[in-house]
Amino acid sequence: MQTHPSTNTSKHSRDEARIIVALDYPDPGAARAMLARLDPDRCRVKIGKELFTRAGPELVRAAVDARFSVFLDLKFHDIPNTVAGACDAAADLGVWMVNVHAQGGPAMLSAARERLERRETRPLLIAVTVLTSLEAADLDAIGCPGTPRERVLGLAGLAHRAGLDGVVCSPMEASALRAAFGTGFRLVTPGVRPASAGAQDQKRVMTPAAAVVAGADDLVIGRPITAADEPLVALAAIEAELATVPPAEAG
Ligand code: C5P
């Protein structure tokens, strides 16, 4: 597995920070207020389609300027040239991680990676495999045979062969992916819930510690932090839980 010494993660004084706070706010002002409360040395942040469509690159730049590692979660899926250009534009914003759909195929994945590798520093490039909202019947309906799990492993293999840095996956899939692709392949998992938090609309959840033991590198956590009365207290509780995972198990 290749290493990427040029990726722009080094600004973190705590590179081991595993928590990515999902800034899922329709209101850019609320997202900015949360950024002002969070500490970029303790967590990273994720900006997705809704917030980006409302607030645009300006908010991404503001987060980067505030020293946050930003995961720009726009799940690019288009022809290779278009996706490569979109990834390059994301890199121009200074984001730490960007993602594409593995279902865009090998040429699209390779084009994205190759375009980013032309840069002196580049974001991590990861792939979405099968959206966790899709069940076997949905895959059937779009003409994809096999179980979701088989497709996740197949598409993760495609991303791995194309030289991507990792995938977004459910924590339930993390151990199988870790066994198949080793420690150099980054596993980013949403669907994480501290034991004390409600699951909301997430169906297949794991606690932060269990997700890390299963092989997750980065934990995308939204509402357990952003909807808490005291977001920083909620973040500290998750950090304390993660500190209980022995290093060997934390990979
Ligand atoms: O609030 P919560 O912790 O459920 O937020 C999880 C975040 O991860 C959301 O931004 C959601 O869109 C994202 N996500 C997910 N499941 C996926 C991919 C992304 O929950 N399969």
Whether residue 233 is predicted with pLDDT greater than 80 in this model: the reply is: yes
Q: Which atom of ligand 1 is nearest to the CA of 226?
A: 1
Domain that holds residue 182: 19-243
Q: In this predicted structure, what is the pLDDT of residue 216?
A: 96
Report if residue 2 sits inside a domain.
no
Which residues are CB-neighbours of 208 under 8 A, at least 6 positions away?
A: 19, 192, 194, 219, 221, 238, 241, 242
Report if residue 4 sits inside a domain.
no
Q: How confident is the model at residue 249 (pLDDT cuts 50, 70, 90)?
A: confident
Q: Is the CB of 132 under 6 A from ligand 1?
A: yes
Report if residue 251 sits inside a domain.
no
Q: Which atom of ligand 1 is nearest to the CA of 46?
A: 10
Q: Is the CB of 167 under 6 A from ligand 1?
A: no
203 is catalytic: no
Mean pLDDT over the full length of the chain: 91
Domain count, the chain: 1
Phi-psi region of 153 (alpha: psi -120 to 50; beta: other; left: phi over 0): alpha
Report if residue 5 sits inside a domain.
no
11, 46, 49, 75: which one is catalytic?
Answer: 75
Q: What is the mean pLDDT of residues 246-250?
A: 74
Report if residue 87 sits inside a domain.
yes
| Percent of the residues in the chain that have a pLDDT greater than 70, as a whole number | 93
How many CB atoms are closer than 10 A to CB 73? 25
Least confident of 1-15, 49-63, 233-247: 1-15
Residue nearest to atom 8 of ligand 1 (CA): 190
CA of 220 to the centre of ligand 1 (A): 7
CATH of residue 47: 3.20.20.70
Report if residue 250 sits inside a domain.
no
Whether residue 109 is predicted with pLDDT greater than 70 in this model: the reply is: yes
| Pocket perturbation via mutation, ligand 1, pick of 24, 72, 103, 138 by most ligand atoms within 8 A of CB | 24
Distance (Å, whole) CA 9 – CA 5: 9
Model's pTM, two decimal places?
Answer: 0.92
Report if residue 168 sits inside a domain.
yes
Which residues are CB-neighbours of 150 under 8 A, at least 6 positions away?
A: none
Report if residue 210 sits inside a domain.
yes
Q: In this predicted structure, what is the pLDDT of residue 179?
A: 96
Q: Is the CB of 47 under 6 A from ligand 1?
A: no
Q: How confident is the model at residue 10 (pLDDT cuts 50, 70, 90)?
A: very low
Among 182, 186, 148, 172, residue whose Cα is nearest residue 71: 186
